[in-house]
Amino acid sequence: MSIISASGDGLTRRRLVGGALAGGILATPLAAFGQNAPGGFPGAAPAAPAPDAPGGAEITVDQARTAPIPIAIPSFGPGIGDQMTQVISNDLAGCGLFRPLGAAASAGGPGVPDFAAYKSMGAQALAAGTTSGSGAGVRVEFRLWNVLTGQQLQGTAYSTSGANWRRIAHIIADVIYERMLGDKGYFDTRICYVATSGPRSHETTRLAIMDQDGANNRVLTGGEWLVKTPRFHPTRDEIAFMSYANDRPRVYLFDLNSGRQQVLGEFAGISFAPRFSPDGSSVVMSATRGGGSDIYTVSLGGGTPRQLTDSGAIDTSPCYSPDGSQIVFNSDRGGSPQLYVMGAGGGGARRISYGSGTYGSPVWSPRGDLIAFIRIGSGGFAIGVMAPDGTGERILTRGFSVDSPTFCPNGRVLAYARRGAGASSSLGQIDIAGFNERSVPTPGGAEAPAWSPLKG
């Protein structure tokens, strides 16, 4: 197995073990005000149920799309507290489902908010917090309240180093999202992509990684070789991607802890378009053979690649369903590139795309209910979604060139790459309902995004 070394200092940062987050972050619950105290405080209602309990979610995502939730977010304090407040507000506003309201802290007793004051602002929820300490040791206390009922929905204290303040802000935004909407949030995640620079005819490409909001951007490779299609491992700090290293295009595995690279699978031709299996034990990819390409699986434990297709056509861009039972892929076996679904073991492929134009870049939603794709027709490029059986096709966005759709971990948002005529490529995001399209900042050109799993 071939090995290429690369530097990767400090690239890993997310793991969850019980109440402790790796990187020196400890999360502990805060009881609702009035609990475990005789009589409690006036105006503090009992804590609300968890979001997965009956009645736990405060509002549905569909309702929030129509009327974003007004939420008051007073400053968590000077310095880091102000910065955290801004990140939390940006996360919630950016998803299009919340309308953050800047507000001065207002208390109605020892720690109990003045709910009447927040109601007068039009707030339905309140995210209140404090920060103490600095540098080596910071404590953040956060409480989420239902302003209309006076219930504390969540109370958590985070103890960490000052360097982790941005991640704590994303975690708090995730908590707010989940408690209010009943779905897991996706703010404490990363996006890997291909960073581009230079003229389009001689672009330099590098693997890069950043937080989902564009912060903490880091370059992973040096740009000596062309790189394409990075994909996150579902549970480990690893990325599969295609590299032209040593002028031989192949799929590699990149370890984010060490920067170590290794070739995945030995093929006589070119290997490309990798995707991990849902359990992370193997990678499905394409490899050229004759005038076409077939789909194979390669075990991360070694062994001979297993061939899944043998159509004599170009079969590529495979992606597993979330349960690992099916694979969607792109093939021109019928005369033009279209989408097909087959069993994970190969065989029984059935066409699912029947709109005008050609289709490519399919990716299965983590929820299992949708497949995203690109469609190329007389009107240019489009990104859309359809059900796994091909019904209900909807176009979400169009452009001179839009490509590489990738779902956020809860399946509610797509990131993608966009390029205008003669312009460098950039990244965007859009809700699966086709609203709240926005750009994602990167230092330079960017293409081929891949969204990490939750706590990836």
Q: pLDDT tens track of the chain, all 456 residues?
A: 333 333 333 333 443 323 445 457 899 999 876 543 333 333 444 455 555 443 456 789 999 999 999 999 999 999 999 999 999 999 999 999 999 997 665 544 447 899 999 999 999 999 999 999 877 889 999 999 999 999 999 999 999 888 899 999 999 999 999 999 999 999 999 999 999 998 878 889 999 999 999 999 999 999 999 999 999 999 999 999 999 999 999 999 999 999 999 999 989 999 999 999 999 999 999 999 888 999 999 999 988 999 999 999 999 999 999 999 999 999 999 999 999 999 999 999 999 999 999 999 999 999 999 999 999 998 899 999 999 999 999 999 999 999 999 999 999 999 999 998 777 899 999 999 999 999 999 999 999 999 999 864
Asked if residue 7 is part of any domain, the answer here is no
128 with 93, same domain?
A: yes
Strand arrangement of the beta sheet that strand 358-364 belongs to: 358-364, 371-377, 380-386, 394-399
226 with 154, same domain?
A: no
Residue with tokens 């990149």: 254
Q: In one letter, which amino acid is 342?
A: M
CA angle 125, 434, 228 (to 5 degrees): 110
Cβ atoms of residues 295 and 329 within 8 Å:
yes
CATH of the domain at 148: 3.40.50.10070
User: Which CA distances in Å does 211 have to 239, 426, 440?
Assistant: 15, 16, 10
Angular region, 66: left φ>0, alpha ψ -120 to 50, beta rest: alpha
Asked if residue 444 is part of any domain, the answer here is yes
108 with 134, same domain?
A: yes
360 with 274, same domain?
A: yes
336 with 357, same domain?
A: yes
DSSP label at residue 47: P
46 with 146, same domain?
A: yes
* CA dist., res. 151 & res. 262, Å (int): 52
Cβ atoms of residues 383 and 416 within 8 Å:
yes
Asked if residue 282 is part of any domain, the answer here is yes
Cβ atoms of residues 137 and 161 within 8 Å:
yes
Asked if residue 210 is part of any domain, the answer here is yes
* CA dist., res. 23 & res. 38, Å (int): 38
Question: What residues contact residue 214 under an 8 Å CB cut-off, 6+ apart?
Answer: 440, 441, 442
Angular region, 6: left φ>0, alpha ψ -120 to 50, beta rest: beta
In 3D space, the residue among 423, 418, 410 whose CA is nearest the CA of residue 438 turns out to be 418
Asked if residue 9 is part of any domain, the answer here is no
Asked if residue 411 is part of any domain, the answer here is yes
Q: In one letter, which amino acid is 421?
A: A
User: Which two tokens mark 240?
Assistant: 């599969």
Instruction: Please count the residues of the chain.
Output: 456
233 with 169, same domain?
A: no
Cβ atoms of residues 125 and 102 within 8 Å:
no
CATH of the domain at 214: 2.120.10.30
- Of 121, 148, 181, the domain-final residue: 181
137 with 235, same domain?
A: no
391 with 432, same domain?
A: yes
Cβ atoms of residues 160 and 24 within 8 Å:
yes
119 with 197, same domain?
A: no
Asked if residue 12 is part of any domain, the answer here is no
User: Which two tokens mark 320?
Assistant: 């597993």
CB atoms near residue 88 (< 10 Å): 28
Report the pLDDT value the prediction gives residue 7, as an integer from 0 to 100: 33
| Bridge pairing between strands 358-364 and 371-377 | antiparallel
The number of folded domains in the chain is 2
User: Which CA distances in Å does 303 have to 204, 332, 367, 405?
Assistant: 34, 29, 31, 31
Asked if residue 2 is part of any domain, the answer here is no
170 with 202, same domain?
A: no
- Of 145, 163, 181, the domain-final residue: 181
312 with 423, same domain?
A: yes
- Of 146, 181, 216, the domain-final residue: 181
Report the pLDDT value the prediction gives residue 32, as an integer from 0 to 100: 76
In 3D space, the residue among 455, 456, 411, 414 whose CA is nearest the CA of residue 171 turns out to be 455
Its domain, for residue 402, covers 190-451
CA angle 183, 185, 188 (to 5 degrees): 160
CB atoms near residue 52 (< 10 Å): 9
Tell me the whole-structure pTM to 2 decimals: 0.90
